[in-house]
Structure 1
Amino acid sequence: MSDFRKAAEEWLAQDPDPGTRAELRAVLDAGDGRALADRFGSRLEFGTAGLRGELGAGPNRMNRVTVMRAAAGLAATLPANAHVVVGFDARHKSAAFADDTAAVLTGAGHTVEVFAEPVPTPVVAHAVRTSRAAAGVVVTASHNPPRDNGYKVYWGDGAQIVPPLDAEISAAIDAVGRVDELPRGTAWRVRDDLTPYLDAVSGLRLGDARDVSIVYTPMHGVGLGVLRAAFAAAGFPAPAVVPEQADPDPDFPTVAFPNPEEPGALDLALALAAERDADLVIANDPDADRCAVAVPAPSGWRVLTGDEVGGLLAEHVLRHTSGGDRLVVTTIVSSSLLGSIARAHGVRFAESLTGFKWIMKAGTDADRLVFGYEEALGYSVGDDRGVPVNDKDGVSAALAVAALAAEAARDGRTLLDLLDDQARRYGLHATAQVSVRVDDLSKIAATMSRLRAEPPARLGGRAVETFDDLARPSGGLPPTDGLRFRLAGGARVVIRPSGTEPKLKCYLEAVVPVEGDVADARGRAEAALEALRRDVAQLVS
């Protein structure tokens, strides 16, 4: 404990935040060895997702010292006098972390622009590329619980960083000394013009149908103002907004987790949509880079999966674009449907590792990316000019979903009808997840090691035909901590640790041919998924 006390005292001596100083002093005065070990026994690792963790004092927490060290490491990695764009969401400490980032970067001789107010993450990603900045930073923890915050880094192409750049920045962070000795500047610029982003996303050429009634929730995040402006610029009627979730609130009081994928997160939006007899529910997560969709169904409102929305948007984009150089991309854990859609439309298709940092690196220089998605409600929607944002964007995705729904309604159809069309054309691709949240991350590593050593021979009543350890380079993909099981009859299971949460995530897919009624095929697919759920849950428990 003496080593942790010494580290804590050194931390106190350089921490500029009276709140975290008081917190740490209380821990020291109480002699709480466990709390000290939790804060100082390890540190948040800087990786391709940047930093993300619980707010508090110490290197294993998000705080002003951690953020200034990250900014100094980034500053050392950049070329001299680089231009950096900084944005932030409405979480606790986000504005202060953005100011600290700007102060350290300008103190290191770089030119910095900081958004005047909290903005969606894709707004910053767009600004990095279009303003020809060398890098960008967004202070956000996206859909994590309210006690968390994070730090995401973009490079000059407006996409998230990938190896080996993350390791270079991490090594530079390790070389940073005391943060109270870092030079801090004050002469950064304030950026308040959202017009370039709004023009780019509202001008997407994806059809002219606009008659659709929408209920929208920003889930206590920062999406409302930008989405309203984008809808107005594109000619859509203003959506009805869930009043309890309209304003930014870092405590997210109406949801257990501010993630549209979590059970119950959309309850208020669905209730308002039923009351208003709306055509569509659209939800963004708190930093508005993800988009969830729900539609009315005979038995009540149905929330579409990320794979279902991905398949629908892919065909909508391909119907409104042209050229054999078009590229569509999804990840190894998303549905295999996109590959079938690409072949039917005569366009190029690529698979990537999980995450938009990899989606944006897929394909070749000869490819023109028009659509990319991942099953976790992330979409990059483009037109013949390509994609406006080199990352997932919940605002442009919302516009594209609204255009798709309006176009279907004009033809007397619904999104559910379009899903049935795809099932008849390509077979029914049904997907589901099993997630195991842990308190001890070592349990995830132990489970992955056990499955590598003893992979199952059968899952869901199907033989495992091939087993891929994705930690070994395969099929042109970089190595990653994941396991893929291909099963008899067109089913598949992928197991991997979450990159942003303490979870082990299992992705299930069953492909069922449609020979008659689509409803019958859906029943068979659900039975197949349920069998997989049971076996996979037992496998990873």
Structure 2
Amino acid sequence: MSDYRKAAEEWLAQDPDPETRAELRALLDAGDGAALADRFGARLEFGTAGLRGELGAGPARMNRVTVMRAAAGLAARLLRDGGTPKVMIGFDARHGSRQFAEDTAAVLTGAGVQAGIFADPVPTPVLAHRVKAFGEYAAGVMVTASHNPPRDNGYKVYWGDGSQIVPPLDAEISAAIDAVGRVDELPLGAGWEVHDASAVDLYLESVAGLGLWPGDVGDEVPIVYTPLHGVGRDTFLHAFERAGFPAPAVVAEQAEPDPDFPTVAFPNPEEPGAMDLALALAAERGARLVIANDPDADRCAVAVPAGGGWRALTGDEVGGLLAEHVLRHTAGDDRLVVTTIVSSSLLGAVARAHGVRFAESLTGFKWIMKAGGPGDRMVFGYEEALGYSVGGDEGVAVNDKDGIGAALAAAGLAVEAAREGRTLLDLLDDQARRYGLHATAQVSMRVADLSLITEAMARLRAEPPAELGGRAVEAFDDLAKGGAGLPPTDGLRFRLAAGADGGSARVVVRPSGTEPKLKCYLEVVLPVPEGGEVAPVREKAAEALEALKADISGVLGLS
């Protein structure tokens, strides 16, 4: 307790934020040792996802001291390369985001780095695009916690190519952060550049020029949209207007940025119930397509009418459809499509059929954008967690996931299908007939104590199951050992023997990189008889996935 009290007193002396100082003083006055240990027993680790965590006082929380230390470490690493580097800073509408962005600009400028900052909150892909497109920035910073709960915020760092940092840069920046002294002794600058709404124009021009939709869009596919209380609405609507689409109807209750996300339990379109208001408005308006972004608009969810109700497509289903859509609208055997080791294996089959290059990466767009090799032109990348980067003949527009560009592509695909009397569900059946039915699902286990995840992974490594879902485990890969051209990562992959259904299956288990979750990714691939119906095969696949879910949940012993 005394050690934590001393650390808390030192923190108080340098914290510029009256709210976190008051929080900390109350804990000290109350003698709350457990709360102090929780805040001062560790610090937020700066990694390839930057920083992300709960708001509050202390090094284990997101706050102004943590952010200023991160900015000082980033400045030190940039200045190591010489010259006068330039950094662009964006922020969303979460609690503290604007202040964190301004603190970053002040610290960077004070260290001798040129800083620019958006005047207002922007979607994450706008920041990533600006860093890539202008070619003058050494790095970019986006203050956002994406789809995390309201109590969280985060700090994402991009390098000069507009993609997120990967090792060894994360370790180098982290080491520089460790060397930062008291933040109240940091030199703070002023006079950084402030970029108004016109700074978004280049992004809008880029995504609206992809050409992944008919020249005359028409009104065959009415669209309902929700930004889930995030910052995507205005950029989304401007992008659709520039591309020639009729204005989508926006869910009024979720239209304005609100850091408390009052209508959803979690502001993530993957979570049950998050899209309910959008689906209700779609039913009322007779819409044919529902699109949702997460709060920083880098993810895109899609739902379509089905059986008198609505069906949300999985990230893998949208990924497979958009991949073929992009490949139909681009040309060249140097094209590259990329997905991750936890996403569906369908993309590999699509790439082979179209005669283009294919690569797998570790989970996360920071790895997707580093996949491939010399001479590859990436036109499409995706991960199953609703993240997509779409491109035209010049390659992808954004070197990160882009929920607005993906929404335009999905709307264009829906319009093209409608003009042929078909729906996105029909296109999914077409893919199943061509490539086999690739059915995927997730088991996601949220925990309060991260040590439970560490223990579960260790137990699974020590005693891997011999069977899952009634299928023998044929091969077990410990991804922490690397291999197959991939860096080591904390994950396990189980390849399962063919069953009586003639199909194959796979299970991947890994801790989440951004939330206190253990995630299990399941895939079953079943053949569709020539000329046969897809629906019965989907039923078999669903049963196989349920069996896998039950077994892997039992093996892990978490709830």
TM-score interval (norm. to shorter): over 0.9
User: Hey, what's the Cα distance between the residues in 2 that align with 1:539 and 1:131?
Assistant: 50
Q: Which runs of 4+ in 1 moved over 4 A?
A: none
Q: Look up the equivalent residue of 1:148 and give its one-letter code.
A: D
Q: Does 1:493 align with 2:499?
A: no
- How many Å apart are 1:487 and its aligned residue? 0.4
Letter of the 2:180 counterpart: V
SS in 2 for 1:257: coil
Distance 1:248 1:429 in 2: 37
* Amino acid of the structure 2 residue aligned with 1:10: E
> Which residue number corresponds to residue 170 of structure 1?
174
Q: Which amino acid in structure 1 is aligned with residue 535 of structure 2?
A: A
User: How far does the alpha carbon of each residue in 1:200-233 deviate from its partner, in whole angstroms, 9 at most, with x for none?
Assistant: 0000022315232100000000000000000000
Q: Is the partner of 1:382 in helix, strand or coil?
A: strand
RMSD: 0.6
Q: Give the counterpart letter for 1:57 in structure 2.
A: A
Q: Secondary structure at the match of 1:442?
A: helix
**2:134, 2:337 → 1: CA distance?**
26
Aligned to 1:85: 88
- Report 1:69-148 matches (<5 A): 69-79=69-79, 80-132=83-135, 133-148=137-152
Kindly indicate whether residue 544 of structure 2 is the aligned counterpart of residue 528 of structure 1.
yes
Alignment partner, residue 210 of structure 1: 217
Does 2:265 match 1:265? no
Name the CA distance, whole Å, in 1 between partners of 2:212 and 2:249: 23
1:219 to 2:228 alignment: yes
CA distance in 2, matches of 1:21, 1:86: 26
Structure 2: tracts of 5 or more residues without a match: 499-503
TM-score under structure 1 length normalisation: 0.99
Structure 1 position 121, deviation (Å)? 0.3
Shift of 1:191: 1.0
Aligned-residue offset at 1:403 = 0.3
Q: How does 1:189-204 map to 2 (within 5 A)?
A: 189-192=193-196, 193-204=199-210
1:7 aligns with 2:19: no
Bigger Cα displacement from structure 2, 200-209 vs 172-181: 200-209
Query: AA paired with 1:289?
Result: D
Alpha-carbon contact 1:210-1:402 (below 8 Å) kept: no
| Matched position secondary structure for 1:471 | helix
- 1:360 matches 2:359: no
* In structure 1, distance between residues paired with 2:35 and 2:284: 48
What's the counterpart of residue 398 of structure 2?
Answer: 389
Cα distance, 1:539 vs structure 2:
1.1
Amino acid at match of 1:507: Y
The residue type paired with residue 116 of structure 2 is E
Alpha-carbon distance in 2 for matches of 1:323, 1:368: 9
**3-state DSSP of counterpart to 1:160:** coil
Q: SS state of the match for residue 117, structure 1?
A: coil
Q: Supply the AA of the counterpart residue of 2:448.
A: D
The whole-number CA distance in structure 2 between the counterparts of 1:445 and 1:166 is 22
Q: Is the 8 A contact 1:508 1:529 kept in 2?
A: yes
- SS of 1:194's equivalent in the other structure is helix
SS in 2 for 1:113: strand
Moved more, 11-20 or 186-195: 186-195
> In structure 2, what is the equivalent of residue 335 of structure 1?
344
1:538 is aligned to 554
Rounded to whole Å, the distance in 1 between the matches of 2:302 and 2:217 is 17
Contact 1:316–1:404 at 8 Å: present in 2 too?
yes
CA distance in 2, matches of 1:238, 1:379: 22
Aligned residue in 1 for 2:163: 159
Give aligned pairs, total: 541
* 1:334 Cα offset (Å): 0.2
CA distance in 2, matches of 1:27, 1:527: 51
- SS of residue matched to 2:392: coil
Give distance in 2, aligned partners of 1:102 and 1:496.
Answer: 35
* Separation in structure 2 between the aligned mates of residue 536 and residue 275 of structure 1, nearest angstrom: 40
1:503 aligns with 2:512: no
Query: Shift of the alpha carbon at 1:299?
Result: 4.0
Quote the Cα distance in structure 2 between the aligned partners of 1:462 and 1:191. 57
SS class of match (2:268): coil
1:244 pairs with one of 253, 261, 282: 253
The two structures have a TM-score, normalised by structure 2, of 0.96
**Offset from partner CA, 1:264-288 (integer Å, 9 cap, x none):** 0000000000111101000000000
Contact 2:213 2:415 in 1 (8 A): no
Output aligned runs, 1:56-67, within 5 Å: 56-67=56-67
SS of 2:481 mapped into structure 1 = coil
State the partner residue of 2:501.
Answer: none
Counterpart amino acid of 1:205?
Answer: G
- The one-letter amino acid of 1:495's match is V
Cα deviations across residues 178-216 of structure 1 (Å, max 9, x unaligned)? 000000001100012211000000000223152321000
Note the C-alpha offset of 1:426.
0.3
Report the Cα distance in structure 2 between the residues aligned to 1:29 and 1:434, rounded to whole angstroms.
Answer: 43
